């Protein structure tokens, strides 16, 4: 049977992976492929070989309104991969981690491309179980446009306080390279930060995301915030609340098994590496003396440029997922 545009628009088996040369690139997927793909960018593990390019003009006027979808927005390096994997069981919801097409749409700023990407990540295998999407950092700067498509959608805003964020973002050369790259891509939203040292650049990225979160939480009632430190310390009640928010059919016994299981003893981005909350805390404690000067400089930058931070953090805290 010939593949139709209706098939591409409706079935998760046809996954919009990315945009290239004014075309949408689809790859084959199935439920198992989504489950094993820790990320849906270049690290995707598809259900088969090959891809298909569909000119964007083909979709003109035919993109459906996105189905109800749950969202995990995050400030980066704050446990979002762990949270999304903990909620992703092969028998329950479809969970998508960092769709590349969605990230590209956010960086591009094209409303039409964003609408197509949003509709494609909302597809599902079970009609009564909404898909959950863990977005990418650039998506945080398209929240007004994206959430307008999903006004009633449940969303978790996962964040860290400034000092904890700096410890996570500045901890290695690779993380700093990521910081410089993403802030350059987000210059239309953050301004030109190329003259700032890494600590201040990280502070500016944190500030932009905190402001975006506070504004979105204020506007959309099904928004919940989650301090990553709370998640790391108390994963079980967080998972219970998140499952309820996203209508994921996990009972307390299943959640306890997940929270006490191997997922929380391995590095979520690389399961071959042992890593748990105690190791994370030890790493942060070791880094603090090394980064103290940069942290102080970043905090001073926020003091000078973020007069609205206390109010924004208060707005975020009042929407806490768990009390």
Three-state SS string over 128-162 comes to CCCEEEECCHHHHHHHHHHHHHCCCCCEEEEECCH
pLDDT at 92: 75
In this model, does residue 1 exceed pLDDT 80?
A: no
pLDDT tens per residue across span 82-97: 999 999 987 778 999 9
Task: Please tell me which residue, 135 or 92, carries the higher pLDDT value.
Answer: 135
Once rounded to an integer, what is the mean pLDDT over residues 108-133?
A: 93
CB 251 within 8 A of CB 243: no
CATH of domain 65-318: 3.40.50.300
Once rounded to an integer, what is the mean pLDDT over residues 112-133?
A: 94
pLDDT at 279: 95
Quote the crossing angle between the two packed helices 111-121 and 100-108, to the nearest 10°. Answer: 160
Cα(150)–Cα(66) distance, integer angstroms:
7
pLDDT at 15: 98
Once rounded to an integer, what is the mean pLDDT over residues 129-149?
A: 95
At 217, is the pLDDT very low, low, confident or very high (cuts 50, 70, 90)?
Answer: very high
pLDDT at 78: 97
Cα 249 to the center of its chain, rounded Å: 21
Task: Please tell me which residue, 90 or 299, carries the higher pLDDT value.
Answer: 299
In this model, does residue 258 exceed pLDDT 90?
A: yes
Average pLDDT across the chain, whole number: 96
pLDDT at 2: 73
Can you read off the two tokens belonging to residue 92?
């329950």
pLDDT tens per residue across span 23-51: 999 999 999 999 999 999 999 999 999 99
pLDDT at 216: 98
């Amino acid at each position: 049977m010939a593949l139709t545009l209706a098939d591409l628009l409706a079935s998760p088996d046809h996954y919009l992976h990315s945009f290239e040369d004014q075309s949408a690139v689809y790859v084959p997927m199935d439920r198992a492929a989504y489950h094993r793909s820790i990320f849906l960018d270049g690290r995707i593990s598809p259900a088969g070989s090959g891809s298909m390019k569909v000119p964007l003009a083909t979709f003109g006027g035919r993109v459906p309104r996105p189905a109800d979808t749950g969202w995990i927005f995050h400030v980066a390096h704050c446990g979002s991969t762990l949270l999304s994997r903990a909620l992703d069981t092969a028998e329950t919801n479809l969970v998508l981690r960092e769709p590349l097409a969605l990230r590209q749409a956010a960086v591009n700023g094209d409303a039409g491309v964003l609408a197509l990407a949003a509709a494609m990540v909302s597809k599902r295998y079970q009609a009564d179980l909404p898909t959950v999407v863990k977005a990418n950092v650039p998506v945080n700067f398209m929240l007004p446009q994206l959430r307008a498509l999903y006004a009633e959608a449940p969303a978790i805003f996962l964040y860290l306080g400034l000092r904890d964020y700096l410890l996570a973002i500045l901890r290695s050369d690779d993380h700093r390279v990521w910081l410089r790259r993403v802030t350059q891509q987000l210059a239309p939203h953050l301004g030109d930060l190329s003259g700032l040292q890494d600590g201040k650049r990280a502070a500016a990225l944190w500030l932009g995301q905190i402001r975006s979160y506070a504004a979105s939480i204020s506007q959309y009632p099904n928004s919940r915030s989650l301090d990553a430190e709370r998640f790391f310390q108390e994963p079980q009640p967080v998972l219970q609340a998140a499952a309820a928010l996203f209508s994921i059919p996990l009972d307390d016994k299943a959640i306890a098994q997940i929270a006490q299981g191997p997922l929380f003893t391995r590095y979520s981005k690389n399961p071959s590496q042992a890593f748990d909350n105690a190791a994370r805390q030890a790493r942060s404690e070791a880094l603090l003396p090394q980064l103290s000067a940069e942290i102080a400089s970043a905090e001073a930058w926020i003091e000078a440029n973020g007069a609205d931070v206390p109010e924004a953090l208060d707005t975020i805290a009042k929407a806490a997922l768990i009390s």
